[in-house]
């Protein structure tokens, strides 16, 4: 009887796990073509290129990798002009990609558990990191750069996507020195007379960790660089900026490298979440010579921040928080994940008071969400409109199938859903040239259509998601679920 009751109260799922799994098939081909299968109209004022990065290979010649975050980076570019669109995808020719494709087998361990064949003995004491360049792609200072947080960027030709080699930022980065995958763009920097600048960081983890801040001018030159030592191990994927601060959430984790060293687990599988320890919020001033401050808040795990801004005495930070780190298991298959057994990521606002050294927080959105995006000119500043990928259902954990818009002023929500057969990626907000309101623009997202096993580029009007997609560009193939990307006016 109990079972029956349960069955009648649990709502039907918005997705089918086998459908979802198919989105993690490797890409076999590199393509280039005019997209001619289009529903709706591409707005003629939408001019520029959407670049996406993410794992293109989920296996090396049939040998499965352990986790999508270990997959070799592949760039997709969708160039818009005159209401038409051109598609191109290329794998990043990292050194390891070339070696493994030539050898036809796995030659490197991955951070998230991919091992070389031959058991632990074949993996023990191989502590090299495979730079897979798979996490983000940005266009800055006339360079297209593919980023992976634990190593240096790869430079690509923005038109052909050909890999040009690793980029040292004009000699600033040493070989293999990290440059994180989450730069933030300050569109009007108060240290540069209102010129734009790019702010990024790198982490050198250890018993105490070093956080280095980089600020680049529009020509791509590093104009400010400063390093700070903070207590404890850091696994920090993203950060937030305001005009005066960089804000980092130091997740409460313990790192035991022994299974990694002995060839039993990947480095990322040696992280243990510490639910009884606070999250530390590290606030680093962007101006030289000022003190770093560390505040504490409730335990939780953050990958991504939506935005931050200064308001009176406070810094507000909007972040997607998990109750714990989704630990990667050594002997499991990520395709078999039980979504219901995991807690969703939810959006919280943190209020930091530096003078009083206090933090308060409030839940903004309980629906499972990820991949936040805002208007480029609102980064680091008070803002009204936030866009995210989200689950179709209002409660519980599930794959990302919808795009959610939150008006933080009126609290109004709009949801565009691709369920039951579609799975979305990060929405990228592109402002309409000459647009007036903060939400005057488009959201671009790549949606995996499991019904046809192909992906669509979907264009939404950010002012009104309820009117449905204004264009749906059907690609001839699928793109595996991607991580991050950006829009560039080229």
Which H or E run includes 123? helix 119-123
Min CB(134)–ligand 3ON separation in Å: 6
Q: Which is nearer to ligand 3ON, 34 or 125 (CB)?
A: 125
Min CB(84)–ligand 3ON separation in Å: 28
Query: What's the CA angle centered on 125, arms 119 and 126, to 5 degrees?
Result: 80
The answer to whether 85 and 473 have CB atoms below 8 angstroms apart is yes
Q: Which is nearer to ligand 3ON, 32 or 333 (CB)?
A: 333
Q: Which is nearer to ligand 3ON, 48 or 372 (CB)?
A: 372
Q: For residue 335, with 0-12 CB atoms within 10 Å meaning exposed, 13-18 middle and 19 or more buried, which class applies?
A: middle
Q: Which is nearer to ligand 3ON, 147 or 246 (CB)?
A: 147
Q: Which is nearer to ligand 3ON, 286 or 304 (CB)?
A: 304
| Phi and psi angles of residue 101, each rounded to the nearest 5 degrees, phi first | -65, -35
Min CB(456)–ligand 3ON separation in Å: 16
Min CB(202)–ligand 3ON separation in Å: 9
Query: What's the CA angle centered on 417, arms 414 and 418, to 5 degrees?
Result: 160
The answer to whether 253 and 274 have CB atoms below 8 angstroms apart is yes
User: What are the residues whose beta carbons fall under 8 Å from the beta carbon of 75, sequence distance 6 or more?
Assistant: 51, 52, 53, 89, 90, 91, 92, 137, 146, 156, 161
Q: How far apart are CA 405 and CA 384, in angstroms?
A: 10
Report CA torsion sign: 348, 402, 236, 313.
Answer: negative
Min CB(268)–ligand 3ON separation in Å: 4
Q: How far apart are CA 182 and CA 402, in angstroms?
A: 23
Min CB(345)–ligand 3ON separation in Å: 7
Min CB(136)–ligand 3ON separation in Å: 9
Residue 354: Cβ within 10 Å count: 16
123: region left, alpha or beta (phi > 0 left; psi from -120 to 50 alpha): alpha
**Within 13 A of 173's CA, how many CA atoms are on the CB side?**
26
Q: How far apart are CA 138 and CA 145, in angstroms?
A: 5
> Chain-centre distance of CA 134, in angstroms?
10
Min CB(459)–ligand 3ON separation in Å: 20
Q: Which is nearer to ligand 3ON, 46 or 150 (CB)?
A: 150
Min CB(167)–ligand 3ON separation in Å: 18
Min CB(442)–ligand 3ON separation in Å: 21
Q: Which is nearer to ligand 3ON, 84 or 116 (CB)?
A: 116
> What are the distances in angstroms from CA 118 to CA 10, 109, 264, 334?
44, 12, 11, 21
Q: Which is nearer to ligand 3ON, 246 or 400 (CB)?
A: 400
Q: Which is nearer to ligand 3ON, 344 or 441 (CB)?
A: 344
Min CB(92)–ligand 3ON separation in Å: 13
Q: Which is nearer to ligand 3ON, 185 or 235 (CB)?
A: 235
Of 23, 13, 18, nearest to 423 (Cα)? 23
Q: Which is nearer to ligand 3ON, 129 or 294 (CB)?
A: 129
Q: Which residue is nearest to ligand 3ON (CB)?
A: 267
Before 420, cis peptide (omega within 30)?
Answer: yes
Of 182, 180, 181, 214, nearest to 197 (Cα)? 214
Q: Which is nearer to ligand 3ON, 135 or 346 (CB)?
A: 135
Residue 33: Cβ within 10 Å count: 10
**Within 13 A of 213's CA, how many CA atoms are on the CB side?**
26
**Site residues, ligand 3ON (CB under 6 A):** 69, 111, 129, 134-135, 149-150, 205, 235, 237, 267-268, 303, 370, 400, 481, 483
Min CB(374)–ligand 3ON separation in Å: 17
């Amino acid at each position: 009887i109990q079972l029956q009751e349960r069955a009648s109260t649990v709502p039907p799922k918005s997705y089918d796990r086998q459908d979802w799994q198919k989105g993690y098939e490797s890409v076999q081909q590199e393509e280039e073509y005019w997209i001619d299968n289009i529903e709706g109209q591409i707005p003629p004022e939408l001019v520029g290129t959407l670049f996406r990065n993410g794992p293109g290979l989920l296996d090396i010649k049939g040998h499965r990798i352990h986790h999508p975050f270990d997959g070799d980076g592949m760039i997709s570019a969708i160039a818009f002009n005159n209401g038409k669109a051109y598609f191109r995808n290329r794998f990043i020719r990292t050194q390891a990609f070339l070696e493994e494709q030539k050898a036809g087998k796995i030659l490197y361990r991955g951070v998230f558990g991919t091992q070389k064949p031959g058991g632990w003995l074949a993996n023990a004491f191989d502590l090299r990191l495979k730079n897979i360049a798979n996490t983000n792609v940005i266009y800055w200072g006339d360079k297209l750069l593919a980023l992976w947080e634990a190593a240096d960027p790869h430079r690509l030709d923005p038109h052909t996507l050909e890999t040009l080699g690793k980029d040292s930022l004009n000699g600033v980065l040493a070989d293999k020195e990290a440059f994180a995958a989450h730069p933030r763009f300050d569109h009007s920097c108060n240290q540069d007379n209102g010129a734009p600048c790019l702010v990024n960081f790198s982490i050198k983890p250890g018993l105490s960790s070093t956080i280095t801040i980089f600020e680049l001018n529009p020509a791509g030159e590093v104009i400010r660089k400063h390093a700070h030592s903070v207590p404890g191990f850091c696994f920090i994927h993203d950060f937030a900026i305001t005009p005066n601060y960089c804000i980092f959430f130091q997740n409460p984790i313990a790192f035991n490298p022994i299974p990694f060293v002995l060839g039993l687990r990947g480095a990322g599988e040696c992280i243990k979440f510490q639910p009884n320890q606070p999250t530390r919020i590290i606030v680093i001033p962007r101006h030289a010579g000022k003190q770093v401050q560390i505040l504490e808040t409730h335990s939780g795990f953050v990958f991504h921040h939506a935005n931050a801004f200064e308001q009176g005495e406070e810094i507000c930070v909007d972040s997607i928080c998990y109750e714990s780190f989704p630990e990667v298991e050594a002997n499991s298959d990520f395709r078999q994940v039980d979504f219901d057994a995991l807690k969703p990521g939810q959006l919280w606002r943190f209020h930091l008071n530096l003078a009083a050294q206090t933090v308060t927080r409030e839940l903004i959105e309980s629906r499972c969400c990820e991949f936040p995006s805002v208007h480029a000119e609102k980064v680091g500043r008070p803002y009204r409109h936030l866009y995210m990928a989200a689950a179709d259902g209002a409660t519980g954990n599930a794959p990302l199938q919808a795009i959610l818009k939150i008006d933080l002023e009126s609290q109004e929500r709009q949801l565009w859903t691709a369920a039951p057969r579609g799975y979305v990626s990060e929405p990228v907000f592109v402002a309409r040239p000459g647009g007036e309101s903060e939400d005057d623009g488009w959201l671009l997202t790549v949606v995996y259509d499991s019904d046809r096993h192909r992906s669509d580029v979907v264009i939404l009007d950010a002012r009104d998601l309820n009117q449905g997609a204004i264009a749906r560009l059907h690609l001839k193939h699928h793109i595996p679920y991607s991580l991050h990307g950006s829009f560039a006016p080229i």
